[in-house]
Each structure stands twice: as structure tokens, then as C-alpha cells.
Amino acid sequence: MIRISIPATCANIGPGFDVFGMALEFSNSIEIEKSTQFSIFIEGEGKGVLPETEENLAIKALRTIYKGDLNQFSIRFKNKIPLARGLGSSATAIVGGLVAGNLLSGEPYSEEELLKMAIEIEGHPDNVTPAMLGGFTISYKVENAFRSVKIIPPEFYVYLIIPGYKLETERMRSVLPDTYKREDIIYNVARASLVVTAFLNGDISLLKEAISDRIHEPYRGKFIKGYFELRDLLLRDGSGVCAISGSGPTISCFSERDDLDKKLTQYMEDLEISGKLIKTRPSLEGVKIESA
């Protein structure tokens, strides 16, 4: 059996729109076993929703590399990452599918080549890059090619408030303006630089000034109940900072405190924010392959 695990991700992280991404310590997995006929099983998130056919996004990604007979395999997806919540569920499918296809084909492609394929399928790099590489990643473009830098983040906690409703990425992209004021661009460049400095220096306290955005959060935050109020409450009491994870609606809160879940639960009740609260950490590892 081959088992591939792919971490959840939070992207953008305040001012790093389409640039920053970070892997998290909970994941989806794909298990591939020899079989007498092709079959797909989905457990957990997406069961009954995601197709158990070759139309599955992960299988489509696998098929871009593996051209052999799928009838000899049984494939099981064990999903912990909710769909359309801004936690990189589609990125895990793409990365996992590509890595699986590469393994089944005898590994003709390097990690760098697989990442390039993943970005081409996803359309932007901020989720697939940390899913592939792990850590905190900065993605950028040189001419027509994407490149990335990986930073090992310091130790801190990530608290995820995951609402019960979905926000599709394409819809959330459509609410963004086509142009921005010069002062807003300058504001974001400064804050994005501070985020990188905070991670490089291990100074999480700096995130309280750094994680602020004028490019996407003012527009997307309107669709996330209680987001602005929660962000302001945490900043005022000094216990942590909030950002929209990806295109939302998940709210990611960063803190050095290991007991922030208690305060967040109270704030959620006060603001009538319904959802699941998960406590996790940044993951230093990206996609992992295990054989049995």
C-alpha cells in the first residue's frame, strides 16, 4: 500500500494576497492498494459530495502523469479538511493526485516539476506551494514562471474557526476591485515585509502590527459573520491576531498562547459566530509518502 498525506494550508495571511501560504498540522490522505478492479472510496469530509469516479479532482491530477491501467488499483481518500472553507482542500487533491501519479509512473518528475504542474492546474501558487513543500512559503513570478521560498516558521498556535457555510474561491475573487489606491499598495508592502520579518526573527508579537490588509480582507470580510469584530477584540486584548484563511470563510488566529481556544469560544458566543474551532500548529513538512 502507498499512503500519501497532504497538509491543510492557510493562504494570504493578511497582506500576502496570492503570495503567502503556510502548511498546517492536519491533513488529508490518499491510500492506494492493488486490486482486481478500479474503485474509489471517500471517508470524512466530502463523502457523498465529491465524485467517486475519474471526475474526482485528485484522479484528474493523477491522470495528467499516470497513463497506465487504473483497474488494478483501489484508491481511498481520508479527508479531514472541509471543502470550500479556505483551507486548501482543492490544493491537497491536486498535490496528492500528482504525487500519486508520479509514484505509479516510476517518479519521472522532480518535486519542482510537480509543483509547477500543481500551480498550472490550481491557477495560483499560494495553497499548492505549502501543501507540497511545507512551512511558510512566499511565491512569486519571474517572467512566466513561478518560484518560491520556504521559511521554517517559529513555534506558535493556529486556531481555526471554521463556519458551517461555504465560500467558493471564484466568487470571492469576483468581489475584489480591479484597481487600488497607491497608499493601499504601500500599506500592504510594508505589512507583508513585517510578516516575513516576524517569521524569520521568530518574533510573533510583530504579527500584531503586520497582519493587516487593504487588498482583499476589506471586501471578503463582509461575507464572514463577525470577522471584523473578532479581529478587533483580539487586537485590543493582545492575545492574538486574525486573518482570513484563503478566500474564507475560515478565520485563522495566530497566538503564542496555548489556551486561546477558551477565549475564542467565548468571543464566538458573544458575536454569534457558529462554527468548529480547531487548534493546530504550522507544519514544517509538506506532502509525505509512506509505503507499507
DSSP string for 114-126: HHHHHHHHHSSST
| Adjacent-strand bridge partners of 33 | 74
Q: What is the CATH number of the domain that holds 244?
A: 3.30.70.890
Domain hosting 212: range is: 157-280
Is the pLDDT confidence value at 283 over 90?
yes
Specify whether 10 is located in the same domain as 112.
yes
Same domain, 144 and 164: no
Cα 178 to Cα 156: distance, rounded to the nearest angstrom? 35
Q: Helix or strand or coil: residue 259?
A: coil
Closest CA to 146 of 121, 165, 168: 121
Q: What is the pLDDT of residues 93-123, one digit of tens each?
A: 999 999 999 999 999 999 999 999 999 999 8
d(CA 287, CA 54): 22
Helix spans in the chain (H): 57-63, 89-104, 111-122, 128-133, 169-174, 182-201, 207-210, 217-220, 227-237, 260-270
Largest CA distance in the chain: 62
11 in the same domain as 27: yes
Is residue 121 within 8 Å of residue 94, measured between CB atoms? yes
Q: Are strands 157-162 and 241-244 parallel, antiparallel or unpaired?
A: unpaired
- The overall pTM is greater than 0.75: yes
Which pLDDT tens digit goes with each residue over 165-210? 888 888 888 999 999 999 999 999 999 999 999 999 999 889 998 9
Structurally, the chain folds into a number of domains equal to: 2
Note whether 235 and 147 are same-domain residues: no
- Do 162 and 147 have their domain in common? no
| The pLDDT of residue 292 | 54
Residues 131 and 238 occupy one common structural domain: no
The verdict on 147 and 161 lying in the same domain is no
Residue carrying the nine cell digits 503570495? 19
Whether residue 24 is found in the same domain as residue 144 = yes
Looking at the structure, tell me whether residues 7 and 138 fall in a common domain.
Answer: yes
The model's pLDDT over 254-282, given as tens digits with 9 standing for 90+, comes to: 999 999 999 999 999 999 999 999 999 99
Are 125 and 252 members of one domain? no
- In this structure, the answer to whether residues 198 and 240 fall within a common structural domain is yes
Long-range (24+ apart) CB contacts under 8 A made by 253-261 are 253/158, 253/159, 253/160, 253/161, 254/156, 254/157, 254/158, 254/159, 254/204, 254/207, 254/211, 255/156, 255/157, 255/159, 255/204, 256/156, 256/157, 256/204, 256/205, 257/157, 258/157, 260/157, 260/159, 261/159
Residues 287 and 246 in one domain: no
> How far apart, in whole angstroms, are the C-alpha atoms of residue 248 and residue 132?
21
